[in-house]
Each structure stands twice: as structure tokens, then as C-alpha cells.
Amino acid sequence: MFTAAFVIAVIPLLWVLITLLQRGLAPVLSSTWWTHSFNGLLPTDFGGGINHALAGTLLEGLICAVISVPLGVLVAIYLIEYGQNSRFAKVATFMVDILSGLPSIVAGLFIYALWITTFGFNRSGFAVALSLVLLMVPVVVRVTETMLLIVPDELREASYALGVPKWKTIVKVVLPTALSGILTGVMLGLARVLGETAPLLILVGYSSSISYDMFGGELASLPLTIFMERGTGTAAGDARMWGAALTLVLVIMLINLVASLLSRLFAVKTK
């Protein structure tokens, strides 16, 4: 029974991977794929590269992580170490639960209404990063909460017995013990939000050239490139679309591998 369930789950995954390799491997292996952009290419022209979209995706992910990781970790520390059953902690937990099930398009519309319509800022990659923060924060909070709960209370009590203040116990004892799992969860959460498409369609325009401007103008990303190339209706556009899709899978796979490496690197040594 379990074997049958495993096979049923693996077959669609293998099908997707084989399709991606069959249709997207040729562009990815081309000499210009990682160094050039699609700037100047007509819909019927083969060639070009994904450099512009890869740069935009990594920049958006970096800004998202810089904001959401400290925020999520601090919220989790408060809920586990300080808040406990307080009313504010219950409200914070309720809000995290809501954000955990928030559709990405709703996050994009909220940032559009707040950042662009209310504050008057331009559509930009930074606005996209803000919408991704709404999706990543609950992941970081839940992962950090879980890892903090796993830390034995004996470690905290031993530190308190030595006269170490609570905040220093958290910084020097609790967080280092939970660091491995927290880093893994952060990387997996980042891999998840990098594939979101809906906020990109709402909050930023597409550029076929390389741009590093996160606060104004158009900016490419891998999901947005897939969407735009799908609309060309040409063989060259289809090749670029599948190449971008395979590149996105490779990026997410690399992030997962880094998460596994960090988990082993920062794991608490038992011997």
C-alpha cells in the first residue's frame, strides 16, 4: 500500500522533470544562456540568455530574506520565550495563522494598495519583495517556533542557574542549538516564495534587459519570464519559456541543497 502511494506520488514528479529536461535543456546548455539577456531579440529569434531574470529573482529573494528572517525569528522568540499565554501572543499567533494561508495574489494586491496606491511609490522589484515577505514570514515563524520548542528546557535552566540573564541565554544557548533547523526552514521558505508569479504580474513590469534597479522601472524574474515568453506563441518563445522553467527548478534545487548543507554544518555536535 505504501509502495503504491509512493509510486503514484513520484510518477507526476518524474513526468514533470523529464518534460523540463526534454524541452528546456537545449537553451540552458547554450553558450549564452547564463551570460546574456533577451534584450533585442524578436519573438521568433532563438538565442539570448536568462541573466536578466536570474539577477532579478535573486535580488528580490535577497531583500525578502533580509526583511523576513529577522522579523520572523524575533516573533517566534517572543511567542516561545516571552509571550506564552499572553493576549498579545494569542493575537500574533492568530495573525501568523492567517498569513500562512494567504494566497500570493492577495499579498500582491495588498502591497499594491498600500505601497503604490496609498504611498504613491512606483511599481518595482522592491514592492514584489515586500509581497514575498508576507508569504515568507509565517514560514520562518513556524519553523523557528518548532526548533525553539525542541531545545531542551534543561539547557535553559542550567544557564539560569549560572546567573545568565534570559536574553543572553536565548542568544548564547537557545538560538545556537536551534540554528541548524532555523537555517534549513529559512532556505526552504525562500525556495518556496521565489516561484510565486501573481505578485510579479501586479507589482512590476517585465524587462528583457539586465536591470538592478529595485526601486523603479521594470525588472525581470524567472516566473515572470516564463509567463511573458509563453505569450509569444512562437517556437523560440517556447524554447526560452522551458529554459527559464528549468532554470527556476535548478535554482530551487540548489537552495534545497544549500539548506541541507547548512543543516549539517550547524548541527549541534553530540560527541
Q: What does the pLDDT look like over 131-157, one tens digit per residue?
A: 999 999 999 999 999 999 999 989 899
pLDDT value for 270: 58
Q: Which three cell numbers stand for residue 258?
A: 544549500
Interior/surface letters 244-264, b for 16+ CB within 10 angstroms, e for the rest: bbbbbbebbeebeeebeebbe
First to last CA, the chain: 39
101: enclosing H helix or E strand: none
User: How large is the angle between the packed helices 235-265 and 2-28, nearest 10 degrees?
Assistant: 120
Do residues 270 and 195 lie in contact, with contact meaning Cβ atoms separated by under 8 Å? Answer: no
Between helix 87-100 and helix 125-150 the angle, nearest 10°, is: 120
C-alpha cell at 4: 503504491
For 63, 72, 93, 97, 140, the CA distances from 185, given in Å and listed in that order, are: 17, 11, 18, 17, 7
Q: Looking at residue 231, what is its pLDDT?
A: 86
**pLDDT at res. 146:** 92
Q: How far is CA 201 from CA 26, 124, 214, in A?
A: 27, 11, 15
- Separation CA 142–CA 73 (nearest Å): 9
What domains can you pick out in the chain, each with its CATH number?
A: 49-265 (1.10.3720.10)
pLDDT tens series, the chain, 271 aa:
788 888 888 898 899 999 999 999 999 999 899 999 999 888 888 888 999 999 999 999 999 999 999 999 999 999 999 987 788 889 999 999 999 989 999 999 999 999 999 999 999 999 999 999 999 999 999 999 999 999 998 989 999 998 999 999 999 999 999 998 898 888 888 988 999 999 999 999 999 999 898 998 889 999 999 999 988 889 999 999 999 999 999 999 999 898 888 888 877 665 5
**Cβ burial, residue 87 (10 Å; 0-12/13-18/19+):** exposed
- Contact in structure between 77 and 141 (CB atoms under 8 Å): no
Give me the phi and psi of 77, to 5 degrees please.
-60, -45
- pLDDT tens digit sequence for 219-242: 999 999 999 998 888 999 999 999
Amino acid 194: pLDDT: 92
Contact 225, 53 (CB under 8 A): yes
Cell of 185: 526552514
Burial class of residue 119 (count of CB atoms within 10 Å of its CB; 0-12, 13-18, 19+): exposed
Contact 66, 134 (CB under 8 A): no
Give the pLDDT confidence score for residue 269 in this predicted structure. 63
